[in-house]
Amino acid sequence: MDNLHFPGYKNPYSIELLYSKMYNEIFARAVIKTVGTLLLVAAFSMSFYFQSREAMAQTPEQSNNSSNSINFLTYENSIFGIKILYPSNWDKQQNTSRFSSSNDVNLVTFSPPFKNTSDIVGKLVVQVDNLSDVKPITLAEYANDTVSDLRQDFKVIESNATLAGNPAYKVVYSGIEANVDLQAMMVMTIKGDRAYIVSYTAEPEKYSYYLPTIQKMIDSFEILKRK
């Protein structure tokens, strides 16, 4: 009876059947492992895709404006005895006209790069005012004379400050000039017979963005011995 086999009967302990079961189990595990690996790769790819889109969505301004990551160069004028740092990718326009010892002079203007020629991005200007022909004047008097006209046309915030290690006067103002909405800051000090003014002007929406870089420039300002 043990040796009889009915049609369609398979010995559950035959070698062929055992191999078939082993093969099916191994194949099933391989399929599950492969599918799991593909799901992990897909999840990683999607994560990388969305992170890349988020990074690309950041404007160059958001990603590049940290003053700690900007390379700075040094501008120095030995005639008027000033030195200041400025970003290496900013435009520098120096006054090339013959300097007059009796006038105030806009020595140099620094401007950040802009995307469109129509943009009014901003600028920082260094100015020196010769006071040798003026009666002795205090910083408060000089600041009041300088700001008096601004008070008539702009909203002005005034405070004490420091420039090149000297007591200074700081003015922040905003308003419309030549049909353009602007926000500006001016820091001024007097040393010897010269007044030194560093001013920053920008569109209101750009003012805060460039301010960290501008502040680093102002903090770097030095008054040197004139040659």
Q: 80 with 127, same domain?
A: yes
pLDDT at residue 200 in the model: 98
Is residue 72 domain-resident?
A: yes
pLDDT at residue 104 in the model: 79
Q: 26 with 74, same domain?
A: no
Q: 89 with 199, same domain?
A: yes
Cβ atoms < 10 Å from Cβ of 75 = 18
pLDDT at residue 26 in the model: 55
Is residue 62 domain-resident?
A: no
Number of domains the chain contains: 2
pLDDT at residue 67 in the model: 58
Give the model confidence (pLDDT) of 148-187 as tens digits.
989 988 999 999 999 999 999 999 999 988 788 999 999 9
Is residue 207 domain-resident?
A: yes
Which residues of the chain fall below pLDDT 70? 1-68, 97-102, 115-120
Q: 41 with 111, same domain?
A: no
Interior/surface letters 151-171, b for 16+ CB within 10 angstroms, e for the rest: eeebebebeebebbeeebbbb
pLDDT at residue 52 in the model: 40
Q: Is residue 99 classed exposed, middle or buried when 0-12, 13-18 and 19+ CB atoms within 10 A define those classes? A: middle
Q: What is the value of pTM for the model shown?
A: 0.69
Q: What range defines the domain where residue 149 resides?
A: 67-223
